Amino acid sequence: MPCNIGFVSTRFSGTDGVTLESAKWARILWDHQHVSHWYAGKLDRDPTVSMLVPEAYFYDRDNVWINEHAFGTHQRTPELTRKIYEMADRLKASLYEFVKKFSIEILIVENALCIPMHIPLGVAITHFIAETKIPTIAHHHDFYWERARFSVNAVGDFLAMAFPPSLPSIQHVTINTFAQQNLSWREGSSSIMVPNVLNFEEPPPENSGDSDFRKEIGLEPDDIMLLQPTRVVPRKGIEHSIALVSQLKNPKCKLVVSHESGDEGLEYRDALTELAEQSGVDLRFVHTHVTSDVPYQSNGAPVTALLDDVYAQADLITYPSLYEGFGNALLEAFYYRKPVLVNRYAIFISDIEPKGFKVVTMNGFLTRGVLEQVRKVISDEKYRKGIVDYNYELGKAFFSYSVLRRKLRALITSFTGLDDL
């Protein structure tokens, strides 16, 4: 029997992993007549199936103040406690309104109950679930204990209560084996592991390489485009990509970063710009956007523009992240049949590398061997094609929509008792 599903987070907008994965979940659910609705502080979903609550955005002015006084200190003031509870009460009221307006039967909370970017929202969701016993899937992408910036704080009681909460109506979902194990060890909570996925059953559009993307960003037809398809935040290791281009010593090599800046301030982007100038590297920031012609799919999720074009025009994907919850951009490189350089971050080592993908790897620093492999991948078309075709087939086997469909079937059935997927 079809259900009304309510997705809840601080943000469903742009190209971050939470936004993209939630759209994939909604697509699978829609295929089986489950209708998705959206609640967040920043939204690019269809307004007719969504509820925008600006106060739920992590850049809301009051929430920014709360974060400034909650982290980096062990002392909490009465004013901070009062502000958290007052804001949580307002947000809880809006959750009641959201569930009533769209007759929500199952909540899917995306990352708002694991990483304390918005403490009042986490508290509000926890209290709401406790009061209503609404069936809830808590989809955890990042836990606070995985980030150094949350280690010194004055809100340990809130973190213990709501990040994540332990309530009988919540089914926890983690995206990698480390997170699954740590959730069990730290909180005593079991979880279902659901990896991030892509629709490998449907290849990229054949005409995706026919755009004027290179011309639009000022590249020549024979330029070698190295693409880093990540947000501009320090853990993405973009300085390694700059070093790679510098050490290749080929003026035709250009570095393009395709996602947004600002989630953690603009200082990192400014430092990268200065580093690229000092290294003689042509660095370009290109923000992928959402099309305005066909703004929404039938399930309310946005249609991403330029993503196909950006990947189609790339010659090599750089992915030198220091830490990732999973690694969406890596799956995208496999999907778009592009060779990729990967810094061997922990989740890659535990959950992706053992599958046998063929990539150029580095261990925190560039070596002569890495540079030689990159040059071979760029220059040897036959070798490159063999690698990318092999990776595509492995992606289809381990990280396709069929995997997500099986996992969601188990999750939804555990609440409804019916095999709806």
Mean pLDDT over 100-114 rounds to 98
**Among 77-86, 237-246, 293-302, 379-388, the least confident range:** 293-302
CB atoms within 10 A of CB 263: 17
- Residue/partner pairs of 268-276 with CB below 8 Å, 24 or more apart: 268/232, 268/233, 268/234, 268/238, 269/232, 272/232, 272/238, 272/239, 272/242, 275/239, 275/242, 276/242
**Among 108-112, 147-151, 214-218, 243-247, the least confident range:** 214-218
Where does the pLDDT of residue 293 fall: very low under 50, low under 70, confident under 90, or very high at 90 and above? very low
pLDDT at 76 over 60: yes
DSSP state for residue 323 in the 8-state scheme: -
pLDDT at 7 over 50: yes
pLDDT at 290 over 70: no
pLDDT at 420 over 70: no
Higher-scoring residue by pLDDT: 301, 30: 30
What is the C-alpha to C-alpha distance for residues 156 and 92, in angstroms, rounded to an integer?
21
DSSP 3-state of 58: coil
- Model confidence pLDDT, tens digit, residues 296-307: 444 444 433 367
First-residue to last-residue Cα distance in the chain: 10
Residue 340: its H or E element? strand 340-343
- Model confidence pLDDT, tens digit, residues 327-378: 888 999 999 999 999 999 999 999 999 999 999 999 999 999 999 999 999 9
Tell me what pLDDT residue 301 has: 45
Q: Percent of the chain having pLDDT more than 70?
A: 91
Residues 6+ apart with CB under 8 A from 317: 226, 227, 228, 229, 311, 329, 332, 333, 338, 339, 340, 341
Mean pLDDT over 159-180 rounds to 96
pLDDT at 262 over 80: no
Tell me what pLDDT residue 261 has: 62
Mean pLDDT over 224-232 rounds to 92
Where does the pLDDT of residue 1 fall: very low under 50, low under 70, confident under 90, or very high at 90 and above? confident
Tell me what pLDDT residue 421 has: 58
Mean residue pLDDT of the chain comes to: 91
pLDDT at 416 over 90: no
pLDDT at 64 over 50: yes
Packed helices 238-248 and 267-279: angle between N→C axes, nearest 10 degrees: 10
Tell me what pLDDT residue 211 has: 64
Strand-pair partners of 253: 224
pLDDT at 291 over 50: no
Residues 6+ apart with CB under 8 A from 312: 204, 208, 209, 211, 213, 336
Sheet holding 4-8, edge to edge: 50-52, 35-40, 4-8, 106-110, 136-140, 170-174, 191-193
Higher-scoring residue by pLDDT: 182, 419: 182
What is the C-alpha to C-alpha distance for residues 172 and 66, in angstroms, rounded to an integer?
27
pLDDT at 295 over 60: no
Tell me what pLDDT residue 306 has: 65
- Token pair, residue 4, equals 């009304």
Give which of 140, 135, 139, 137 is closest to 104, Cα–Cα. 135
What is the C-alpha to C-alpha distance for residues 245 and 316, in angstroms, rounded to an integer?
11
Mean pLDDT over 85-92 rounds to 98
Alpha-carbon distances of 314 from 192, 233, 309, 417, rounded to whole Å: 35, 21, 9, 46
Residues 6+ apart with CB under 8 A from 186: 145
- Domains (range + CATH), the chain: 4-197+401-416 (3.40.50.2000), 213-398 (3.40.50.2000)
Cβ–Cβ < 8 Å for 410, 192: yes
> Alpha helices, DSSP H only, in 35-118?
61-70, 78-102
Cβ–Cβ < 8 Å for 20, 199: no
- Model confidence pLDDT, tens digit, residues 120-147: 999 999 999 999 999 999 999 999 999 8
pLDDT at 385 over 90: yes
Cβ–Cβ < 8 Å for 184, 191: yes
Tell me what pLDDT residue 296 has: 44
Question: Dmax over Cα atoms in the chain, in whole Å?
Answer: 66
What is the C-alpha to C-alpha distance for residues 294 and 313, in angstroms, rounded to an integer?
23
Residue with tokens 């629709």: 199
Q: Are strands 50-52 and 283-285 parallel, antiparallel or unpaired?
A: unpaired
Tell me what pLDDT residue 260 has: 66
pLDDT at 214 over 50: yes
Give which of 144, 140, 151, 147 is closest to 176, Cα–Cα. 140
